[in-house]
Amino acid sequence: MLKKIFKKTASYWFIPLVLFLTSCTEPSIIGLDVQPPSDQLNVVYTDTFTVEAYTALEDSVRSDRTNFLLAGSIVDPVFGFSKTAFCSQLNLPSSSIVFPDAAIVDSLVLTLVLKGYYGYSKYASQLTLNVFEVSDVLYPDSIYYSNQEIQKKRFIGTKTCVPNLKDSVQIDGGKIPPCIRIRLDNNLAKQFIEDATHGFLVNNAAFTDYFRGFLVEAVPFVSGGTIYYFDLISAASNLTMYYHTTEKSEKFTFLINDKCARFNLFENDYSTANADLRSQLAFPNQPSEKIYVQSRGGIKVNLNFPTIKNIVDPYPVLINKAELVFTIDQMDFSNNILPIPSKLTLIKYQEDSTYIFIVDQFDGTFGGNYNASKKEYRFNISRHIQSLLRTSSQDYGIALIISGASTRGDRVVLNGMLSGAQKPKLCIAYTVVN
Protein backbone atom coordinates (compact mmCIF):
# COMPACT_ATOMS: atom_id res chain seq x y z
CA MET A 1 0.00 0.00 0.00
CA LEU A 2 1.33 3.32 -1.03
CA LYS A 3 1.43 5.41 2.13
CA LYS A 4 1.43 9.17 1.83
CA ILE A 5 3.81 10.52 4.40
CA PHE A 6 3.84 14.26 3.99
CA LYS A 7 6.89 15.99 5.45
CA LYS A 8 8.00 19.58 5.29
CA THR A 9 11.33 20.01 3.61
CA ALA A 10 13.87 20.88 6.27
CA SER A 11 15.46 23.70 4.35
CA TYR A 12 15.52 25.13 0.89
CA TRP A 13 17.21 28.07 -0.78
CA PHE A 14 15.27 30.98 -2.17
CA ILE A 15 15.33 31.98 -5.82
CA PRO A 16 14.06 35.57 -6.26
CA LEU A 17 11.40 35.99 -8.90
CA VAL A 18 12.57 38.80 -11.19
CA LEU A 19 9.89 38.52 -13.87
CA PHE A 20 6.50 37.00 -14.55
CA LEU A 21 4.91 34.96 -17.31
CA THR A 22 1.49 36.03 -18.48
CA SER A 23 0.81 32.97 -20.62
CA CYS A 24 2.47 30.03 -22.34
CA THR A 25 1.52 31.29 -25.77
CA GLU A 26 2.75 34.85 -25.41
CA PRO A 27 6.49 35.12 -24.73
CA SER A 28 6.20 38.74 -23.54
CA ILE A 29 7.39 38.83 -19.94
CA ILE A 30 6.21 41.47 -17.50
CA GLY A 31 9.11 43.11 -15.75
CA LEU A 32 11.68 43.11 -18.54
CA ASP A 33 11.19 46.83 -19.01
CA VAL A 34 12.66 47.52 -15.59
CA GLN A 35 15.74 45.36 -16.09
CA PRO A 36 19.01 46.71 -17.51
CA PRO A 37 19.25 46.01 -21.26
CA SER A 38 22.31 43.84 -20.68
CA ASP A 39 20.31 41.57 -18.35
CA GLN A 40 17.39 41.36 -20.76
CA LEU A 41 19.65 39.95 -23.45
CA ASN A 42 20.33 36.90 -21.28
CA VAL A 43 16.66 36.08 -20.57
CA VAL A 44 15.34 33.11 -22.54
CA TYR A 45 11.72 32.00 -22.77
CA THR A 46 10.65 28.47 -23.78
CA ASP A 47 7.69 26.13 -23.48
CA THR A 48 9.07 23.27 -25.58
CA PHE A 49 10.28 20.93 -22.84
CA THR A 50 8.69 17.49 -22.84
CA VAL A 51 6.12 16.94 -20.08
CA GLU A 52 5.43 13.25 -19.60
CA ALA A 53 1.96 12.86 -18.09
CA TYR A 54 0.53 9.41 -17.47
CA THR A 55 -2.73 8.40 -15.80
CA ALA A 56 -2.10 6.03 -12.88
CA LEU A 57 -4.03 4.28 -10.13
CA GLU A 58 -3.69 5.59 -6.61
CA ASP A 59 -3.27 2.82 -4.07
CA SER A 60 -5.04 4.53 -1.19
CA VAL A 61 -5.02 7.80 0.71
CA ARG A 62 -4.68 8.50 4.38
CA SER A 63 -8.22 9.28 5.53
CA ASP A 64 -8.20 9.54 9.33
CA ARG A 65 -9.04 12.66 11.39
CA THR A 66 -10.31 14.52 8.32
CA ASN A 67 -12.53 17.60 8.48
CA PHE A 68 -15.34 15.89 6.57
CA LEU A 69 -16.55 12.30 6.39
CA LEU A 70 -18.19 11.04 3.21
CA ALA A 71 -21.10 8.72 2.43
CA GLY A 72 -22.74 8.03 -0.91
CA SER A 73 -21.98 6.70 -4.37
CA ILE A 74 -21.68 7.87 -7.98
CA VAL A 75 -22.16 6.08 -11.29
CA ASP A 76 -19.76 8.12 -13.42
CA PRO A 77 -19.86 7.79 -17.25
CA VAL A 78 -16.08 8.28 -17.39
CA PHE A 79 -14.64 7.00 -14.10
CA GLY A 80 -17.06 4.14 -13.43
CA PHE A 81 -18.61 3.33 -10.07
CA SER A 82 -17.37 4.58 -6.72
CA LYS A 83 -18.75 4.60 -3.20
CA THR A 84 -17.79 6.09 0.13
CA ALA A 85 -18.48 5.23 3.76
CA PHE A 86 -17.06 6.28 7.11
CA CYS A 87 -16.34 4.92 10.55
CA SER A 88 -16.20 6.69 13.91
CA GLN A 89 -16.03 6.12 17.63
CA LEU A 90 -18.27 7.65 20.29
CA ASN A 91 -17.01 9.29 23.49
CA LEU A 92 -18.58 9.83 26.89
CA PRO A 93 -19.26 13.38 28.12
CA SER A 94 -18.05 12.44 31.61
CA SER A 95 -16.97 9.44 33.67
CA SER A 96 -18.81 6.98 35.91
CA ILE A 97 -22.03 7.07 33.90
CA VAL A 98 -25.08 5.36 35.44
CA PHE A 99 -28.78 5.61 34.66
CA PRO A 100 -31.89 5.40 36.86
CA ASP A 101 -33.03 1.83 37.53
CA ALA A 102 -36.52 2.67 36.24
CA ALA A 103 -35.31 4.30 32.99
CA ILE A 104 -37.44 3.42 29.95
CA VAL A 105 -35.98 4.06 26.49
CA ASP A 106 -37.94 6.28 24.12
CA SER A 107 -35.49 6.54 21.22
CA LEU A 108 -31.84 6.55 20.20
CA VAL A 109 -30.94 9.07 17.48
CA LEU A 110 -27.69 9.53 15.55
CA THR A 111 -27.39 13.11 14.24
CA LEU A 112 -24.96 13.82 11.39
CA VAL A 113 -24.44 17.44 10.35
CA LEU A 114 -24.38 17.98 6.56
CA LYS A 115 -21.74 20.28 5.03
CA GLY A 116 -22.03 19.73 1.29
CA TYR A 117 -22.19 17.24 -1.52
CA TYR A 118 -20.64 16.19 -4.82
CA GLY A 119 -22.66 14.65 -7.61
CA TYR A 120 -25.56 15.11 -9.95
CA SER A 121 -28.13 16.76 -7.71
CA LYS A 122 -28.60 16.93 -3.99
CA TYR A 123 -32.38 17.03 -4.46
CA ALA A 124 -32.74 14.34 -7.11
CA SER A 125 -30.91 11.72 -5.07
CA GLN A 126 -32.93 9.82 -2.47
CA LEU A 127 -30.29 8.61 -0.05
CA THR A 128 -30.48 5.52 2.15
CA LEU A 129 -27.92 5.32 4.95
CA ASN A 130 -27.34 2.14 6.93
CA VAL A 131 -25.57 2.14 10.29
CA PHE A 132 -23.65 -0.80 11.76
CA GLU A 133 -21.85 -1.40 15.02
CA VAL A 134 -18.28 -2.49 14.29
CA SER A 135 -16.26 -5.19 16.00
CA ASP A 136 -12.79 -3.78 15.32
CA VAL A 137 -10.99 -1.94 18.11
CA LEU A 138 -10.34 1.63 16.94
CA TYR A 139 -7.49 3.82 18.17
CA PRO A 140 -7.57 7.65 17.99
CA ASP A 141 -3.79 7.86 17.62
CA SER A 142 -3.58 5.31 14.78
CA ILE A 143 -3.25 6.05 11.06
CA TYR A 144 -6.08 4.79 8.86
CA TYR A 145 -6.21 4.56 5.08
CA SER A 146 -9.12 4.65 2.68
CA ASN A 147 -8.90 0.89 1.95
CA GLN A 148 -9.06 -0.12 5.62
CA GLU A 149 -11.02 -3.33 6.21
CA ILE A 150 -13.69 -3.00 8.91
CA GLN A 151 -15.75 -5.84 10.35
CA LYS A 152 -19.44 -5.21 10.94
CA LYS A 153 -20.83 -6.58 14.18
CA ARG A 154 -24.53 -5.88 13.69
CA PHE A 155 -27.01 -3.66 11.89
CA ILE A 156 -28.35 -0.95 14.21
CA GLY A 157 -30.28 1.55 12.08
CA THR A 158 -31.27 3.03 8.70
CA LYS A 159 -32.69 6.22 7.20
CA THR A 160 -34.03 7.02 3.74
CA CYS A 161 -34.39 10.69 2.81
CA VAL A 162 -33.63 13.40 0.30
CA PRO A 163 -31.02 15.41 2.24
CA ASN A 164 -31.69 19.10 2.72
CA LEU A 165 -28.50 21.15 2.89
CA LYS A 166 -30.21 24.54 3.10
CA ASP A 167 -32.51 24.56 6.13
CA SER A 168 -31.59 24.39 9.80
CA VAL A 169 -33.43 21.91 12.03
CA GLN A 170 -35.34 22.54 15.25
CA ILE A 171 -34.16 19.98 17.82
CA ASP A 172 -34.82 19.90 21.57
CA GLY A 173 -35.84 23.56 21.68
CA GLY A 174 -32.96 24.90 19.59
CA LYS A 175 -31.79 25.16 16.00
CA ILE A 176 -28.94 23.10 14.61
CA PRO A 177 -27.36 23.11 11.12
CA PRO A 178 -28.78 21.00 8.27
CA CYS A 179 -28.40 17.35 9.22
CA ILE A 180 -29.60 13.79 8.84
CA ARG A 181 -31.09 12.15 11.95
CA ILE A 182 -31.11 8.34 12.02
CA ARG A 183 -33.19 6.35 14.48
CA LEU A 184 -31.11 3.49 15.86
CA ASP A 185 -32.26 0.27 17.51
CA ASN A 186 -33.77 0.92 20.95
CA ASN A 187 -32.24 -2.35 22.10
CA LEU A 188 -28.83 -0.72 21.83
CA ALA A 189 -29.96 2.06 24.18
CA LYS A 190 -31.37 -0.53 26.60
CA GLN A 191 -28.01 -2.28 26.48
CA PHE A 192 -26.22 0.97 27.36
CA ILE A 193 -28.48 1.52 30.37
CA GLU A 194 -28.12 -2.03 31.63
CA ASP A 195 -24.39 -2.38 31.06
CA ALA A 196 -23.60 0.95 32.71
CA THR A 197 -24.28 -0.84 36.01
CA HIS A 198 -21.44 -3.26 35.15
CA GLY A 199 -18.87 -0.51 34.69
CA PHE A 200 -18.75 -0.40 30.89
CA LEU A 201 -19.41 3.36 30.93
CA VAL A 202 -17.04 4.18 33.77
CA ASN A 203 -14.63 6.02 31.43
CA ASN A 204 -13.80 6.42 27.74
CA ALA A 205 -11.26 3.60 27.69
CA ALA A 206 -13.81 1.12 29.01
CA PHE A 207 -16.60 2.44 26.80
CA THR A 208 -14.66 2.45 23.50
CA ASP A 209 -13.60 -1.12 24.13
CA TYR A 210 -17.20 -2.07 24.95
CA PHE A 211 -18.87 -0.13 22.07
CA ARG A 212 -16.06 0.12 19.54
CA GLY A 213 -17.65 2.39 16.99
CA PHE A 214 -20.10 2.64 14.15
CA LEU A 215 -19.97 2.46 10.35
CA VAL A 216 -22.21 4.56 8.09
CA GLU A 217 -22.59 3.47 4.48
CA ALA A 218 -25.04 4.32 1.71
CA VAL A 219 -27.10 1.96 -0.39
CA PRO A 220 -25.50 2.36 -3.86
CA PHE A 221 -27.29 4.42 -6.50
CA VAL A 222 -28.02 2.54 -9.73
CA SER A 223 -27.49 5.68 -11.83
CA GLY A 224 -26.30 9.22 -11.26
CA GLY A 225 -25.73 9.55 -7.56
CA THR A 226 -24.29 11.86 -4.95
CA ILE A 227 -21.59 11.80 -2.29
CA TYR A 228 -22.50 13.76 0.85
CA TYR A 229 -20.07 15.49 3.20
CA PHE A 230 -20.67 15.23 6.95
CA ASP A 231 -19.13 17.32 9.74
CA LEU A 232 -18.82 14.98 12.70
CA ILE A 233 -16.76 17.47 14.71
CA SER A 234 -19.73 19.81 14.87
CA ALA A 235 -21.20 19.88 18.37
CA ALA A 236 -24.56 19.05 16.78
CA SER A 237 -23.23 15.70 15.49
CA ASN A 238 -23.78 13.16 18.26
CA LEU A 239 -25.76 10.16 19.47
CA THR A 240 -28.64 11.09 21.78
CA MET A 241 -30.55 8.64 23.93
CA TYR A 242 -34.02 9.78 25.01
CA TYR A 243 -35.59 8.04 28.01
CA HIS A 244 -38.02 8.67 30.84
CA THR A 245 -38.78 7.64 34.37
CA THR A 246 -42.03 7.97 36.26
CA GLU A 247 -40.93 11.46 37.30
CA LYS A 248 -39.60 13.06 34.12
CA SER A 249 -38.18 12.76 30.61
CA GLU A 250 -34.41 12.78 30.19
CA LYS A 251 -31.77 12.58 27.48
CA PHE A 252 -28.13 11.50 27.41
CA THR A 253 -25.68 12.53 24.69
CA PHE A 254 -22.73 10.46 23.50
CA LEU A 255 -20.12 12.69 21.88
CA ILE A 256 -18.41 12.57 18.51
CA ASN A 257 -15.38 14.84 18.83
CA ASP A 258 -11.77 15.31 17.83
CA LYS A 259 -10.68 12.68 20.37
CA CYS A 260 -12.62 10.00 18.49
CA ALA A 261 -10.98 7.78 15.89
CA ARG A 262 -12.71 8.54 12.58
CA PHE A 263 -11.86 7.85 8.95
CA ASN A 264 -13.24 7.56 5.44
CA LEU A 265 -13.51 4.35 3.41
CA PHE A 266 -13.40 4.52 -0.40
CA GLU A 267 -14.05 1.93 -3.07
CA ASN A 268 -13.60 2.50 -6.82
CA ASP A 269 -14.64 0.10 -9.58
CA TYR A 270 -13.28 0.95 -13.04
CA SER A 271 -14.84 -2.00 -14.87
CA THR A 272 -17.57 0.36 -16.12
CA ALA A 273 -15.24 3.30 -16.83
CA ASN A 274 -14.89 4.55 -20.40
CA ALA A 275 -12.70 2.57 -22.79
CA ASP A 276 -9.87 5.12 -22.85
CA LEU A 277 -9.45 5.20 -19.07
CA ARG A 278 -9.62 1.40 -18.84
CA SER A 279 -6.95 1.15 -21.55
CA GLN A 280 -4.64 3.59 -19.77
CA LEU A 281 -4.97 1.69 -16.50
CA ALA A 282 -4.32 -1.63 -18.25
CA PHE A 283 -1.35 -0.32 -20.26
CA PRO A 284 0.30 2.40 -18.15
CA ASN A 285 2.93 4.93 -19.20
CA GLN A 286 1.61 5.32 -22.74
CA PRO A 287 1.14 8.82 -24.23
CA SER A 288 -2.56 9.68 -24.48
CA GLU A 289 -4.92 12.38 -25.65
CA LYS A 290 -6.61 12.61 -22.25
CA ILE A 291 -5.42 12.22 -18.67
CA TYR A 292 -7.58 11.65 -15.62
CA VAL A 293 -7.54 12.79 -11.99
CA GLN A 294 -9.90 11.52 -9.28
CA SER A 295 -10.01 12.03 -5.51
CA ARG A 296 -10.88 9.38 -2.87
CA GLY A 297 -7.86 7.15 -3.44
CA GLY A 298 -8.74 6.94 -7.11
CA ILE A 299 -6.56 8.20 -9.95
CA LYS A 300 -3.58 10.54 -10.25
CA VAL A 301 -1.26 11.71 -13.02
CA ASN A 302 2.45 10.90 -12.83
CA LEU A 303 4.70 13.63 -14.24
CA ASN A 304 8.30 13.77 -15.42
CA PHE A 305 10.43 16.28 -17.34
CA PRO A 306 12.94 14.05 -19.15
CA THR A 307 14.60 16.83 -21.19
CA ILE A 308 14.80 19.51 -18.50
CA LYS A 309 18.55 19.20 -17.93
CA ASN A 310 19.21 20.12 -21.56
CA ILE A 311 18.69 23.70 -20.42
CA VAL A 312 22.06 23.82 -18.65
CA ASP A 313 24.14 22.83 -21.68
CA PRO A 314 26.65 24.42 -22.04
CA TYR A 315 26.10 27.10 -19.34
CA PRO A 316 24.30 27.03 -15.96
CA VAL A 317 21.05 29.01 -15.71
CA LEU A 318 18.98 30.87 -13.17
CA ILE A 319 15.27 29.99 -13.31
CA ASN A 320 13.28 33.21 -13.18
CA LYS A 321 9.93 31.49 -13.38
CA ALA A 322 8.63 28.05 -14.31
CA GLU A 323 4.93 27.38 -14.76
CA LEU A 324 3.28 24.02 -15.32
CA VAL A 325 -0.07 24.32 -17.11
CA PHE A 326 -2.92 21.82 -17.58
CA THR A 327 -6.09 22.50 -19.55
CA ILE A 328 -9.37 20.67 -19.12
CA ASP A 329 -10.75 18.58 -21.97
CA GLN A 330 -13.60 20.80 -23.13
CA MET A 331 -14.82 18.13 -25.55
CA ASP A 332 -15.61 15.77 -22.69
CA PHE A 333 -19.25 16.33 -21.68
CA SER A 334 -18.73 14.86 -18.22
CA ASN A 335 -16.67 17.90 -17.21
CA ASN A 336 -19.86 19.92 -17.66
CA ILE A 337 -22.06 17.48 -15.71
CA LEU A 338 -19.93 16.89 -12.64
CA PRO A 339 -18.27 19.93 -11.00
CA ILE A 340 -14.68 20.78 -11.92
CA PRO A 341 -12.37 20.55 -8.86
CA SER A 342 -11.61 24.02 -7.51
CA LYS A 343 -7.99 23.11 -6.80
CA LEU A 344 -5.37 20.56 -7.82
CA THR A 345 -1.97 20.12 -6.22
CA LEU A 346 1.45 18.58 -6.89
CA ILE A 347 3.43 16.23 -4.67
CA LYS A 348 6.93 14.86 -5.07
CA TYR A 349 7.92 11.19 -5.07
CA GLN A 350 10.74 9.89 -2.92
CA GLU A 351 12.81 6.79 -3.61
CA ASP A 352 10.48 4.58 -1.54
CA SER A 353 7.40 5.92 -3.43
CA THR A 354 6.20 7.95 -0.45
CA TYR A 355 5.31 11.59 -0.97
CA ILE A 356 6.67 14.88 0.31
CA PHE A 357 5.50 18.40 -0.46
CA ILE A 358 7.02 20.00 -3.52
CA VAL A 359 9.24 22.87 -2.34
CA ASP A 360 7.15 25.56 -4.07
CA GLN A 361 4.08 24.50 -2.08
CA PHE A 362 5.02 26.87 0.72
CA ASP A 363 5.05 29.95 -1.53
CA GLY A 364 1.96 32.08 -1.92
CA THR A 365 2.40 31.93 -5.69
CA PHE A 366 2.24 28.13 -6.00
CA GLY A 367 -1.21 28.18 -7.63
CA GLY A 368 -3.25 25.12 -8.58
CA ASN A 369 -6.62 26.88 -8.52
CA TYR A 370 -8.99 26.32 -11.43
CA ASN A 371 -9.23 29.29 -13.80
CA ALA A 372 -12.73 29.03 -15.26
CA SER A 373 -12.15 31.68 -17.94
CA LYS A 374 -8.99 29.98 -19.28
CA LYS A 375 -10.20 26.45 -18.49
CA GLU A 376 -6.85 25.64 -16.90
CA TYR A 377 -4.82 24.86 -13.80
CA ARG A 378 -1.45 26.63 -13.46
CA PHE A 379 1.39 25.96 -11.01
CA ASN A 380 4.51 27.97 -10.24
CA ILE A 381 7.26 25.36 -9.76
CA SER A 382 10.32 27.59 -10.18
CA ARG A 383 12.16 26.27 -7.13
CA HIS A 384 11.48 22.67 -8.03
CA ILE A 385 12.88 23.11 -11.53
CA GLN A 386 15.92 24.96 -10.23
CA SER A 387 16.56 22.15 -7.73
CA LEU A 388 16.42 19.58 -10.55
CA LEU A 389 19.10 21.52 -12.42
CA ARG A 390 21.41 21.97 -9.44
CA THR A 391 21.52 18.39 -8.20
CA SER A 392 22.83 15.15 -9.62
CA SER A 393 20.55 13.02 -7.41
CA GLN A 394 17.86 10.82 -8.92
CA ASP A 395 14.57 12.53 -9.79
CA TYR A 396 11.61 10.26 -9.02
CA GLY A 397 8.99 12.56 -10.52
CA ILE A 398 5.93 14.32 -9.17
CA ALA A 399 2.21 13.53 -9.12
CA LEU A 400 -0.83 15.65 -9.92
CA ILE A 401 -3.70 15.01 -7.50
CA ILE A 402 -6.86 16.72 -6.29
CA SER A 403 -6.29 18.96 -3.29
CA GLY A 404 -8.01 17.47 -0.24
CA ALA A 405 -8.31 14.09 -1.96
CA SER A 406 -9.42 12.30 1.22
CA THR A 407 -12.36 14.65 1.83
CA ARG A 408 -13.61 15.43 -1.67
CA GLY A 409 -15.67 13.68 -4.33
CA ASP A 410 -14.03 15.52 -7.24
CA ARG A 411 -12.69 14.28 -10.58
CA VAL A 412 -11.63 15.91 -13.84
CA VAL A 413 -10.56 15.02 -17.38
CA LEU A 414 -7.55 16.97 -18.68
CA ASN A 415 -5.78 17.20 -22.01
CA GLY A 416 -2.87 14.79 -22.34
CA MET A 417 0.41 14.53 -24.23
CA LEU A 418 -1.29 13.87 -27.60
CA SER A 419 -3.62 16.90 -27.42
CA GLY A 420 -1.50 19.13 -29.64
CA ALA A 421 -1.47 22.76 -28.53
CA GLN A 422 -3.58 21.87 -25.46
CA LYS A 423 -1.12 19.34 -24.04
CA PRO A 424 0.49 19.92 -20.59
CA LYS A 425 3.19 22.56 -20.86
CA LEU A 426 6.19 23.63 -18.82
CA CYS A 427 6.76 27.33 -19.49
CA ILE A 428 10.14 28.60 -18.36
CA ALA A 429 11.87 31.96 -18.34
CA TYR A 430 15.53 31.74 -17.37
CA THR A 431 18.74 33.69 -17.37
CA VAL A 432 21.94 32.20 -18.78
CA VAL A 433 24.83 32.56 -16.33
CA ASN A 434 28.05 33.01 -18.33
87 and 214 together in one domain: yes
pLDDT for 24 equals 58
Higher-confidence residue of 137 and 43: namely 137
Band (pLDDT 50/70/90 cuts) for residue 3 is: very low
Q: How many CB atoms neighbour CB 47 within 10 A?
A: 17
305 and 231 together in one domain: no
Radius of gyration of the chain (CA): 26
73 and 133 together in one domain: yes
Tell how many helices (H) and how many strands (E) occur in the chain.
6, 27
pLDDT tens, residue by residue, 362-418: 889 999 999 999 999 999 999 999 999 987 778 999 999 999 999 999 999 999 999
pLDDT for 122 equals 60
* Average per-residue pLDDT for the chain: 89
- Among candidate residues 229, 260, 291, the one where a domain is terminated: 260
Measured between alpha carbons, how far apart are the two ends of the chain, in Å? 47
The Cα 360–Cα 357 span in angstroms is 8
Give 72: exposed, middle or buried? Use CB within 10 Å, 0-12, 13-18, 19+. Answer: buried
128 and 253 together in one domain: yes
The Cα 287–Cα 304 span in angstroms is 12
pLDDT tens, residue by residue, 300-337: 999 999 999 888 877 788 999 999 999 999 998 888 88
Higher-confidence residue of 6 and 223: namely 223
The Cα 276–Cα 432 span in angstroms is 42
The Cα 32–Cα 37 span in angstroms is 9
- Among candidate residues 226, 260, 294, the one where a domain is terminated: 260
Handedness of CA 289, 29, 369, 406 (dihedral sign): positive
173 and 289 together in one domain: no
56 and 75 together in one domain: no
- Among candidate residues 220, 239, 260, the one where a domain is terminated: 260
- Counting the structural domains of the chain, the total is 2
| DSSP per position, 226-292 | EEEEEETTSTT-EEEEEEE-SS-EEEEEEE--TTS-EEEEEEEEGGGS-HHHHHHHHS-S---SEEE
Q: Are 90 and 286 in contact (CB under 8 A)?
A: no
Residue 7 covered by a domain: no
24 and 89 together in one domain: no
The Cα 372–Cα 434 span in angstroms is 41
Q: What are φ and ψ of residue 399, in 5° steps?
A: -130, 140
pTM summary value: 0.88
For strand 299-304 and strand 411-415, is the pairing parallel, antiparallel, or unpaired? unpaired
Residue 12 covered by a domain: no
Residue 2 covered by a domain: no
The residue length of the chain stands at 434
Residue 398 covered by a domain: yes
| Residues in CB range of 183: below 8 A, 6 or more apart | 107, 108, 109, 157, 159
3-state SS, residue 192: helix
25 and 92 together in one domain: no
The Cα 379–Cα 366 span in angstroms is 6
The Cα 87–Cα 154 span in angstroms is 14
Q: Are 108 and 279 in contact (CB under 8 A)?
A: no
Residue 85 covered by a domain: yes
| DSSP per position, 355-421 | EEE-GGGGSTT-EEEEETTTTEEEEE-HHHHHHHHH--SPP--EEEEETTTTS---EEEEE-TTSGG
156 and 232 together in one domain: yes
Sequence-ordered alpha helix ranges (H) in 142-234: 186-196, 204-210
Residue 9 covered by a domain: no
351 and 382 together in one domain: yes
Residue 213 covered by a domain: yes
pLDDT for 22 equals 40
Structural domain containing residue 44: 20-60+270-432
pLDDT for residue 264 is more than 50: yes
Higher-confidence residue of 17 and 258: namely 258
pLDDT for residue 427 is more than 50: yes
Residue 275 covered by a domain: yes
The Cα 378–Cα 383 span in angstroms is 15
The Cα 31–Cα 363 span in angstroms is 20
pLDDT for 36 equals 52
286 and 250 together in one domain: no
Give 77: exposed, middle or buried? Use CB within 10 Å, 0-12, 13-18, 19+. Answer: middle
187 and 225 together in one domain: yes
